Amino acid sequence: MPGNAQLLLLDRDALAAIMTTDMVSRAVYDAFTLHGQRQGRVFPVVREALKTGGIFGIKSGDVAARALLGFKAAGFWPRNRELGGEPHQATITLFDPMTGRPSCIMDGNAITTARTAAAGELGLRVLARADSTSLCVFGTGVQARAQLSAALRALPSLRMVRYVSHDGKPDTSFENHFNSLCRPTLAADANAAVADSDVVITATPGGGPLFSLEAVRPGTHFNCIGADTRGKRELPEGLLDLCRLVADDHEQATSLGEAQWSPSVPHMELGHIVTGKSEFIRHTDDVTVFDMTGLALQDLVVGEYLYDAACHAGLGRLIPWPW
């Protein structure tokens, strides 16, 4: 009854106790399937710069058949590093679509990292060459680490891993994190690293092209994460014109992603490929790009899985929320 309504709060530690890689992978595949079948809606994204120096955004959507409604409020506050904190901040809220009442508020930081990595893994499984042996990752931060971990799961044939750091110097923390898995080495020359790689992952703040067009070789696949706001990019001019482009969402990619720089270039959506609505056959020399802007449905479906798991396990904090 309205007077007895409660709201579940799930903080970082509660989520850590129930969130697994397998759960997130299943939820993200579920989200792309819903999107490809147009059973889930993605509402227009809010993404705005703040006078504080941060960027604030809202991604929202619903799945009527599953009584799923909600949003993620998230953004990037670079000054958090000075406080010893994470610059990416996110909070997810789920609502009862029948009443509009909130049912759960959860920390979205780890969810965002995990669901983005799961999307990258799915993109590699569907789009990259299965026999890929070499990879270059741009960035050494939280998302770069998550994407490289996902790539090692998706492509067990990987043998050579190079990374490009923001200052061109070795990142011992990054190297130590992966030494037992792949022993990544610093790339002294970004163009040479791209030219020698079967897979390239760009996980940077999206401040501009990271390599030259001339470095791109036939057969290379690119997972692009950093372009998620108007004006951001990581790929060089002309690359989208010669590649086979796949986006997570048409509208978001052409307004916020790499596709904003070449909006007329034809592309498919990953959800249409995984549901069979679009046929994708990779040829050996194809250059492929997965333009990842991040779907609200990824956040909401992962949030739904976690909410159900928390309720089943009795985790989190219930607080009165009468109306």
Instruction: Read off the CATH number of the domain in which 163 is found.
Output: 3.40.50.720
Q: Are residues 55 and 130 in the same domain?
A: no
Q: Are residues 62 and 189 in the same domain?
A: no
pLDDT value of position 4? 87
pLDDT value of position 2? 76
Q: Are 183 and 203 in contact (CB under 8 A)?
A: no
Q: Which domain holds residue 209?
A: 119-295
Tell me the sheet residues that pair with 8.
Answer: 104, 318
Per-residue pLDDT of 13-43, as tens digits, reads: 999 999 999 999 999 999 999 999 999 999 9
pLDDT value of position 3? 81
Pair of tokens at residue 184: 């990544």
Strands 199-202 and 134-138: parallel
Residue 142 has pLDDT above 70, yes or no: yes
- Residue 159 CA to its chain's centroid (Å): 24
Q: What are phi and psi of 262, to 5 degrees?
A: -145, 65
Q: Are residues 314 and 254 in the same domain?
A: no
Residues 130-154, mean pLDDT to the nearest whole number: 97
Q: Are 42 and 316 in contact (CB under 8 A)?
A: no
Residues 146-157, mean pLDDT to the nearest whole number: 98
Q: Are residues 72 and 162 in the same domain?
A: no
Residues 298-314, mean pLDDT to the nearest whole number: 98
Cβ atoms within 10 Å of 214's Cβ, excluding its own: 11
Pair of tokens at residue 55: 């960027």
Q: Are residues 291 and 307 in the same domain?
A: no
CATH number for the domain that contains residue 307: 3.30.1780.10
* Phi-psi map region of 100: left, alpha, beta (phi>0 left; psi -120 to 50 alpha): left
Residue 144 has pLDDT above 70, yes or no: yes
Per-residue pLDDT of 57-81, as tens digits, reads: 999 999 999 999 999 999 999 899 8
Residues 92-110, mean pLDDT to the nearest whole number: 97
Q: Are residues 245 and 301 in the same domain?
A: no
Q: How confident is the model at residue 148 (pLDDT cuts 50, 70, 90)?
A: very high
Q: Are residues 180 and 199 in the same domain?
A: yes
pLDDT value of position 125? 98
Pair of tokens at residue 52: 């504080």
Q: Are residues 286 and 308 in the same domain?
A: no
Q: What are phi and psi of 318, to 5 degrees?
A: -90, 130
Number of domains in the chain: 2
Angle value at C-alpha 108, between 76 and 63, nearest 5 degrees:
115
Q: Are residues 186 and 227 in the same domain?
A: yes
Q: Are residues 238 and 184 in the same domain?
A: yes
Sheet with 134-138: strands ordered across: 185-186, 160-164, 134-138, 199-202, 221-224, 288-291, 244-247, 267-269
**Mean of pLDDT over the chain:** 96
Q: Are residues 257 and 171 in the same domain?
A: yes
Tell me the sheet residues that pair with 205.
Answer: none
- The structure tokens 């509402």 sit at 43
pLDDT value of position 1? 66
Residue 258 to residue 46: CA distance in whole angstroms: 17
Tell me the sheet residues that pair with 57.
Answer: 47, 74
Least confident of 48-57, 152-161, 216-225: 48-57
Residues 71-96, mean pLDDT to the nearest whole number: 94
Q: Are residues 11 and 132 in the same domain?
A: no
pLDDT value of position 120? 98
pLDDT value of position 230? 93
- The structure tokens 């798991």 sit at 309
